[in-house]
Amino acid sequence: KKIRELMYNAFMSEDHILHFVFLGGPDFVVGPTAPAAERNVLGVIAKVGLEVGGKVIEMRKRMRNVLRIIAGKPVMPTCGLPGGVSKAITEDERKTIIEAGEYGVEFCKVALGLFDDVVLKNKDYVDLIVGDIFKHRTYYMGQVDENNKVNFYDGKIRVVDPNGKEFAKFKAQEYLDHIREHVEPWTYVRSSYLKNIGWKGFVDGGRCRKTSQWDC
């Protein structure tokens, strides 16, 4: 369990760096009014400097190496077996993973500082984030630990209503007691909704359906 959780947390770290810097970052760090040709990872590096840009690349490299060590390769892991993984971690690999984790903690301190300086200290950005344009009053669902803190690997499934009040909390084995799926003719994706609320379509507001952190 610990090895599988370690692998998934390494993936979450690597994947969120991809979004924070390469995908979503350009619009905030470079600026939404900057020319489109500058709103990319090169524009981010030009804005924050080569030193920070180098740390971003090194962070992704180390997290992907952790995935390679545990999963066999960074993309499409091949290590999974029912109830375990296909190989143990050697002592040298353990040391490499610890070093990567320590580097990751320091990198995240830099990233949070950058977010504070570039985004949270910019009134226009804050107004945009908390404004109505990005606000969706829906039911939200995610996985949490015993303290209701987000947990990407294990825990209970928690649903809150549009006002943030807890609506349901259940084990993964009870998923079908609470969640149903709806099919539309224009997509292969099945849209999930709360059984006790019923399918109401894609609605924003007090009478909305449920949404989750993966819906967009």
Residues contacting residue 4 through CB under 8 Å, at least 6 positions apart: 80, 84, 85, 153
> Which of the 8 DSSP states describes residue 29?
I
Query: Which one is predicted more confidently, 137 or 214?
Result: 137
Q: Is the pLDDT of residue 202 over 50?
A: yes
Q: How far is CA 111 from CA 9, 80, 129, in A?
A: 17, 32, 18
**What percent of the chain has a predicted confidence (pLDDT) above 70?**
94
**What percent of the chain has a predicted confidence (pLDDT) above 90?**
49
Instruction: Please name the helix (run of DSSP H) or strand (run of DSSP E) that holds residue 192, with its range, or none.
Output: strand 191-194
Q: Count the neighbouring beta carbons within 10 Å of the beta carbon of residue 103.
A: 16
Average pLDDT over the chain, rounded to an integer: 87
The domain segmentation of the chain, as residue ranges, is: 2-132, 139-212
Least confident of 2-6, 51-55, 76-80, 199-203: 199-203
Q: How far is CA 76 from CA 19, 21, 80, 110, 192, in A?
A: 19, 23, 10, 29, 25
Q: What is the mean pLDDT of residues 46-53?
A: 85
Rounded Cα distance between 170 and 143, Å, is 10
Reported pTM: 0.78
Q: The tokens 């294990």 sit on which residue?
A: 154
Residues contacting residue 191 through CB under 8 Å, at least 6 positions apart: 181, 182, 183, 184, 199, 202
Q: What is the mean pLDDT of residues 121-133?
A: 85
pLDDT tens, position by position, 65-85:
999 999 998 888 888 888 889
pLDDT tens, position by position, 133-161:
778 888 999 999 999 999 999 999 999 99
Q: How far is CA 7 from CA 91, 132, 197, in A?
A: 16, 37, 36
